[in-house]
Structure 1
Amino acid sequence: MTRTQSDTGAVSQENEGKTPRKAALSGWIGSVLEYYDFTLYSQAAALVFPVVFFPTGDPTVALISSLATYAVGYVARPIGAIVLGNWGDKHGRKNVLVIAMLLMGLSTLAVGFLPTYDQIGLWAPLILVFLRLIQGFAVAGELGGASAMIVEHAPAGRRGFFASFGLQGTQAGSIIATAVFIPLTAVLTDEAFIEWGWRIPFMLSAVVVLAGFLIRKHVEEPPAYTRSLAVQQAQNRQAPVVELFKNNGWTVFRAILMTLANVAGVTTLVFGTSFATQEAYGVAMPASTFLWVPLIANVAAVIVIPVFGMLSDKIGRRTLMIVGSFGSGLVAIGYLTAIQSGNLVLTIVLAILMMGVLFQMWNATFATFFQELFPTQTRVTGFAISQNVGLMIVAFLPSIFTFVAPPGSDNVPLVVGGLTLAIATVSALATLFTPETRGKDIENHD
């Protein structure tokens, strides 16, 4: 039976309608799996690793050492951004996403089997650092590739909405990682959790390795990318990273400064967890209790992210990003003061406001904004380098916060909260001086 032209057109329109949804689903699932792995490490760095891998007589030194290994993962991210970003721009978005997922899953699984300091001595933290470097290298290619694929498949007037699902996936992955820790800390004794219980969530990362081959094979490369690739090959253009800094270096610099808005996340989830649960700070909330704080904040984030993504398609990207970055920084002092007072209810309320709502104005929007700032031929590279250099800077902040406001010092909430606000303000100003991109033709600008 022969199809009529109208039938063929109807099928084509149906496929075009499904493709953005399929790309968004692929980005969402991949982000869930990647950030499940990455969040596990940040939780364990605050709760477990100071004892298991960095046992010293000084709890402050152990905590700083553990949080520094958390930051090491971000040191590898600029390298991963250059390598995987170039790969994604030269060999395809789909290709780089599978590579990133497999590297992340295998390195995280290996952490679950890593012997302790008492068993193999200094080799334990050294291997831990090496695995963290692989994690950082891998995750650098995930969001850049996923959001590029989504944005390039999405209709021009709905790019913010569709791209927001990749960011929703990162929060969902964080929720799952935290949710896995909560029953373990509640059911197991402290001794059992430190001895073996913390390993279970890392071992579950075997799912990532299996899913890496399956999730993205049904998503096609975006037409905008395939057309751009044909032009690059015909013109024998320079490597994406060279072309990026030649034509868009100032844009990269501003995007790095904008990424400093992530200080809200490390203040809430990393330093905040240490401040609340480490006995040396004098608060000593039970870990099983405090883990509900980031969990509830991330649940709120999952709900609001698509709303802010949709709103960015209506009013633009910049307004949401400016309000979100500055507003979340403004709440930091109150959030840390609530922790210090031991008021769990107020801590949860302010965590929802800071991390679950205000920061998500920025978080839901930045991926679309960054992708729209760069031309197709350097899009993944530009996004990945900007985001991951910024995140590398942010990743050292928990250790810096602990250094300038160590256990026993006065005014920890004021010092750390004030620094958080100052850094968030830099992000807001960088956004203010960047042109709006809503409605921009992302395929045909250089």
Structure 2
Amino acid sequence: MAVASFIGTAIEFYDFYIYGTAAALVLNEAFFPNLTPLNATLASFSTYAVAFAARPLGSVVFGHFGDRVGRKSVLVASLLLMGLSTALVGLLPGYGSWGIWAPLALVLLRFLQGIGLGGEWGGAALLAVEHAPKGRRGLYAAFPQLGPSIGFFAATGIFWLLSAVLDDTTFKSWGWRIPFLLSFLLVAVGLFVRLKISETPVFQRVMEQQEASKVPTLDVFRKFPKELLLGAGGMIVAYGLFYTATTYCLSYATKTLGVPRNTMLGLSMVACLFLAAGTWLAATRSDAGGRRKLILGGCGLAVVWGLVLFPLLDTEQPVLIALALGGALFCMGVVYGPMGAYLPELFGARVRYSGASLAYNLGGVLGGAVAPLVATRLQAGFGSASVGWYVSAMAVVSLLCVLALPETRERELG
């Protein structure tokens, strides 16, 4: 089950991340050619942010059925919605062909992407955690938590390969569409895996005892408001680190510093290995040392790293850029890894899908949706150092939120 949840999250996060890479590299020219470079970049990042606004809605919709019908069927539906929305972006005509309808259609598809991913993470985490024996939930949850690392590595890798073999004109004309079209194939693979999984034993007990919540989202707000809001706050730094170090830094380095596109894509792939290492180490160690302590440690590291991220990046030296990005993503992994078990453990079995998904995705609105937009504005007005201070501030917010939450490692899942 852990492997099945890993494959699903890797595919869905691949779908999500190829959009971020395309937004940093080419969507501004393909869909907003009449704007100034700065405003076109902001418009491209705004379409990127639309999905984060949609993700809590996806959490509500898919969480409702995940808590009432079951984890398995909802995960199949979220995969279909996410994958097909992504693939259709690859078929979407640009501004030159469709005019204003092109960016409007892009926003719609991005919104549907967000709804699909909003239902994905909670179900995948529960699939692993609710099948895990007590004392090994961190280990089992490590697998879906690795999905973003592998998805991002694959998304960046395909763009790196296309950038290496295609000239700039060809890449911007049609080459960027290939990663999106590959989603048709990945959806088929994901469906094959997910249709073979079984329902979790925890949810089966809920159904046998006829304890399913009628309106899970309302029950989350009534019974777990503290866990919901503070859990979302704890996720802010993970999202902020990731989307600053990947989407924004890719745009900043290539367009402002003049670092070659292929160099930055290669360095981003190297940095992703640091994310995977931090995620795996922290998730697996959380079974012995506790989730909360490791998450707090990751937040503390992020406070410091935010202050050195851009001084290292601004050197324009590949080794130091890799260190800057890798350090940021390692800090993110240390926070993110234990969250796969920590957020589900904060909520009762009857509303666990809705509660964990909402906390996870509300953190994405606050940390992921606005990070590239705020970073672009800060850099334009106050220089790159201000973006580092912004990252550190997000880390402080998350640290304070997790301090107000309890340790959950010994809790029964119900």
TM-score range, shorter chain: over 0.9
Q: Which of 393, 396, 399 pairs up with 2:366?
A: 393
Task: Measure the CA separation in 2 of the matches of 1:83 and 1:320.
Answer: 31
Which range moves more in the overlay, 299-308 or 67-76? 299-308
Task: Measure the CA separation in 1 of the matches of 2:252 and 2:190.
Answer: 36
Q: Deviations over 1:118-144 (max 9, x none)?
A: 111011100000000000000011110
Residue 304 of structure 1 and its aligned partner are, at CA, apart by: 4.1
Following superposition of structure 1 onto structure 2, how do residues 137-148 of structure 1 map, counting pairs within 5 Å? 137-148=115-126
Change (3 A) 1:181 1:111: same
Following superposition of structure 1 onto structure 2, how do residues 50-199 of structure 1 map, counting pairs within 5 Å? 50-199=28-177
Following superposition of structure 1 onto structure 2, how do residues 163-312 of structure 1 map, counting pairs within 5 Å? 163-232=141-210, 237-261=213-237, 262-278=239-255, 281=256, 283-312=257-286
Task: Measure the CA separation in 2 of the matches of 1:436 and 1:416.
Answer: 32
Task: Measure the CA separation in 1 of the matches of 2:402 and 2:213.
Answer: 30
Change (3 A) 1:238 1:274: same
- 1:241 corresponds to which letter in structure 2? T
Partner of 1:441: 412
- 1:242 corresponds to which letter in structure 2? L
Following superposition of structure 1 onto structure 2, how do residues 20-35 of structure 1 map, counting pairs within 5 Å? 23-35=1-13
Is 1:425 matched up with 2:399? Answer: no
Give me the TM-score of the superposition, normalised by structure 2.
0.97
Following superposition of structure 1 onto structure 2, how do residues 356-367 of structure 1 map, counting pairs within 5 Å? 357-367=330-340
- 1:400 corresponds to which letter in structure 2? V
- 1:315 corresponds to which letter in structure 2? G
**Alpha carbons 1:229, 1:377 under 8 Å: kept:** no
**Alpha carbons 2:7, 2:190 under 8 Å: kept:** no
Secondary structure of the corresponding residue to residue 39 of structure 1: helix
Residue 307 of structure 1 and its aligned partner are, at CA, apart by: 2.5
**Alpha carbons 1:325, 1:358 under 8 Å: kept:** yes
Partner of 1:376: 349
Secondary structure of the corresponding residue to residue 140 of structure 1: helix
- 1:136 corresponds to which letter in structure 2? G
Task: Measure the CA separation in 2 of the matches of 1:344 and 1:301.
Answer: 18
Q: Deviations over 1:93-132 (max 9, x none)?
A: 0011100111111011100011010111011100000000
Secondary structure of the corresponding residue to residue 213 of structure 1: helix
Q: State the Cα RMSD in Å.
A: 1.3
**Alpha carbons 2:224, 2:347 under 8 Å: kept:** yes
Task: Measure the CA separation in 2 of the matches of 1:140 and 1:329.
Answer: 28
Following superposition of structure 1 onto structure 2, how do residues 310-349 of structure 1 map, counting pairs within 5 Å? 310-349=284-323
Which range moves more in the overlay, 430-439 or 335-344? 335-344
Residue 237 of structure 1 and its aligned partner are, at CA, apart by: 4.4
Task: Measure the CA separation in 1 of the matches of 2:120 and 2:213.
Answer: 25
Residue 44 of structure 1 and its aligned partner are, at CA, apart by: 0.3
Residue 229 of structure 1 and its aligned partner are, at CA, apart by: 2.1
Q: Deviations over 1:46-75 (max 9, x none)?
A: 000011011134100000000011100111
Unaligned 5+ runs, structure 1: 1-22
Q: Deviations over 1:252-287 (max 9, x none)?
A: 010111111121111101111111011xx2x11111
**Alpha carbons 1:97, 1:141 under 8 Å: kept:** yes
Residue 195 of structure 1 and its aligned partner are, at CA, apart by: 0.2
- 2:121 corresponds to which letter in structure 1? L
Give me the TM-score of the superposition, normalised by structure 1.
0.90
Task: Measure the CA separation in 2 of the matches of 1:385 and 1:159.
Answer: 20
Divergent runs of 4+, >6 A: none
Task: Measure the CA separation in 1 of the matches of 2:263 and 2:191.
Answer: 37
Secondary structure of the corresponding residue to residue 364 of structure 1: helix
Residue 250 of structure 1 and its aligned partner are, at CA, apart by: 1.3
Is 1:353 matched up with 2:327? Answer: yes
Task: Measure the CA separation in 2 of the matches of 1:237 and 1:24.
Answer: 26
Task: Measure the CA separation in 1 of the matches of 2:206 and 2:96.
Answer: 54
- 1:274 corresponds to which letter in structure 2? S
Task: Measure the CA separation in 1 of the matches of 2:106 and 2:189.
Answer: 24
